[in-house]
Amino acid sequence: MTAEQRYDLPAKACTCGLRFRPGMAASLLRLPAADLTDRVISLEDLCGARARELQSRLDDAGSSAERLSILSNTVRPPAPAPNAVQRAIETVTAHYGDIDLDWVARQAGMSERQFRRRCLEESGLAPKQLCRVLRFRRACELGNRGLPWGLIAAEAGYFDQAHLIRDFREFAGATPMSVFSNTTDGRFG
């Protein structure tokens, strides 16, 4: 997701979801990554009868831990040898998006333009957008630790606090302070 998404859920609804590492959803779901970006697709639309069986097992589970176990055992990523683009995406991810993309492209043996096209195919995001999402996720991790926002901005690779706030408004729909003060346990992300 590259923008705020809101969902109306019934009271006491039990939800679960999966977050894929960048570049992994397309190979697992066997769809082009760009077709998945910023979309909510029902599992039944993706998997048909297998999804209905999984939904039944999840509904019958007695706890969140049991649901997690069911999902973990059901969703097994394919194990192809990582290609140059996937290794490059992993490098970008390991640096939380705070990395020179020209250097990453050269290390992957590609031009900047070729890397942009291949990253979009593999992850659903252009490299710069992927970096923004990863930086935002890093800021959320640091925000969960209760660090000062100026330090969070610097540690996550933002130019300044205003830059961080702009990304929070785009990705979370609110400022960092309001996001973290409105969560039930003070944690976000």
Q: Which domain holds residue 163?
A: 129-181
Q: Is 133 part of a structural domain of the chain?
A: yes
Q: Is 14 part of a structural domain of the chain?
A: no
Whether 119 and 144 map to the same domain: the answer is: no
Whether 177 and 134 map to the same domain: the answer is: yes
Which of 132, 180, 130 has its CA nearest to residue 156?
A: 132
Percent of the chain at pLDDT exceeding 70: 86
Q: Is 62 part of a structural domain of the chain?
A: yes
Give CA–CA dist 102/117, Å, rounded: 14
Q: Out of 55, 74, 93, pick the residue that ends a domain.
A: 74
Helix (H, G, I), strand (E, B) or coil at 28: helix
Give CA–CA dist 57/51, Å, rounded: 10
Give CA–CA dist 164/177, Å, rounded: 11
Position 184 scores a pLDDT of 47
Render pLDDT for 29-58 as a digit per residue (tens, 0 to 9). 777 777 777 777 777 887 788 888 888 888
Q: Is 18 part of a structural domain of the chain?
A: no
Number of domains composing the chain? 3
Render pLDDT for 114-163 as a digit per residue (tens, 0 to 9). 999 999 988 889 999 999 999 999 999 999 898 888 899 999 999 989 99
Q: Which of 5-19, 61-75, 134-148 has the lowest mean pLDDT?
A: 5-19
Whether 107 and 133 map to the same domain: the answer is: no
Q: Is 105 part of a structural domain of the chain?
A: yes
DSSP state of 23: T
Q: Is 148 part of a structural domain of the chain?
A: yes
Q: Is 4 part of a structural domain of the chain?
A: no
> How far is residue 22 CA from its own chain's centroid?
7
Please work out, in degrees rounded to the nearest 5, the angle formed at the alpha carbon of residue 133 by the alpha carbons of 18 and 74.
Answer: 15
Residue 158's domain is classified under what CATH number?
1.10.10.60
pLDDT of residue 171 exceeding 80, the answer is yes
Q: What's the sign of the alpha-carbon dihedral 47, 137, 126, 22?
A: negative
